[in-house]
Structure 1
Amino acid sequence: MIQKGNTFIRKAIPQEASLIHELALDIWPKAFEEILSPEQIRYMFRMMYATDVLKKEMERGVEFYILNHEGAAAGYTAIEQKNETAWKLHKIYLSQKLHGKGFGKYQLHTMEAIARNNGAEYLCLNVNRYNKALDFYRSQGYIITGTEDIDIGGGYFMNDYVMQKRL
């Protein structure tokens, strides 16, 4: 557990997949409502946030973390070791009520510390090319290293920048 005042981040366990699902239900669609169609949001949510999908990700080595603020779960992150020198940030989401208060930086810096403490030299991530979070990542030292257009089925694509930061 990593603490900052009355806010802390702790590793989630597979039995908390339903908690992550509920957090995502509240947070995730709002993050994409301006750049994805409602149909794509529903499709992707089922594909990525069904409780059994989250449990399978945990079983294959994706580490989920929950941000607790003033006694309530208010955000989540997910990271995974990709190779000896790099980890990947899969998810970083925070309740919109807490945006602009430094908690996103707290989440990101905590994931960077976890990766670094496990021997990583880089943390990489994908971000939708139209996501306003792009500026946030840039402000935190991430650079664009490429683009990816990922076919996720259903006629939908994820049009992403690949970014990374040297830890």
Structure 2
Amino acid sequence: MITLRLATLEDASRIQKIAEDTWPISYEGIISPNQIRYMLDLMYSKTKIETAIKDQNQAFWLADKDGETLGFCSIEFGNPSSEYLRIHKLYLLPETQGLGIGKLLIDKITHEGLSHELSFLHLNVNKHNKAFHFYQKLGFEVEREEVIDIGNDYIMDDFVMVKAIR
């Protein structure tokens, strides 16, 4: 049985490991291995994860089964405005994708948004990431396209997606 729990500072290395195991497979053929490494270093340092866990406006939720963490999501309340719950990250170990764990995490995120009286879920997804279809299936709609310069001559070429939850 899958259980969802809030991450603690002790989970930072576990989150980092899942990102390291997931990104090279999820983004293979979409962005270069050098950009994958750059982005992992930029977004998944232990310090960066711990800072997000400590931030009272953010939360990491972990999906566990039999003592093993299979995936996680990261959310932020009130971003990009007070009506929104921002999904910063949602990653599952490749061998667990397609088993309904992502939907469990989205359901949890939706519950969190509703409990904070928010109206929308908001996220970015790479235009070529197969997760785009997962989000569409769950009712997210493309709000706009966005190209973000992340430094080192790399960009993120994304769809910004939104879902009304109330």
TM-score (norm 1): 0.92
Match of 2:61 among 36, 59, 65: 65
Q: Displacement of 1:54 after TM fit?
A: 0.9
Distance 2:11 2:99 in 1: 26
Q: Displacement of 1:84 after TM fit?
A: 2.7
Q: Displacement of 1:94 after TM fit?
A: 0.7
Q: Displacement of 1:23 after TM fit?
A: 1.6
In the other structure, the counterpart of 2:14 is: 19
- 1:76-102 deviations in whole A, cap 9, x for unaligned? 100001233111001111111111211
Match of 1:165 among 138, 154, 163: 163
Partner AA of 1:48 in structure 2: M
Distance 2:11 2:19 in 1: 12
1:136 aligns with 2:134: yes
Unmatched 5+ residue regions in structure 2? none
SS of the residue corresponding to residue 130 of structure 1 reads coil
SS of the residue corresponding to residue 75 of structure 1 reads strand
- 1:54-111 deviations in whole A, cap 9, x for unaligned? 1122333321111102321110100001233111001111111111211111111111
Distance 1:136 1:20 in 2: 21
Unmatched 5+ residue regions in structure 1? 1-5
Distance 1:38 1:90, change over 3 A: same
Distance 1:23 1:127 in 2: 18
Distance 1:152 1:79 in 2: 20
Percent identity between matched residues is 34
Q: How does 1:17-166 map to 2 (within 5 A)?
A: 17-60=12-55, 61-81=57-77, 82=79, 83-166=81-164
User: Following TM superposition, where does structure 1 have runs of at least 4 consecutive aligned residues deviating by more than 6 angstroms?
Assistant: none
Distance 1:11 1:28 in 2: 22
Partner AA of 1:113 in structure 2: H
Q: What is the aligned residue count? A: 162
| Aligned partners of 2:3 and 2:65 also within 8 Å | yes
RMSD of Structure 2 on Structure 1 (CA): 1.2
Partner AA of 1:80 in structure 2: E
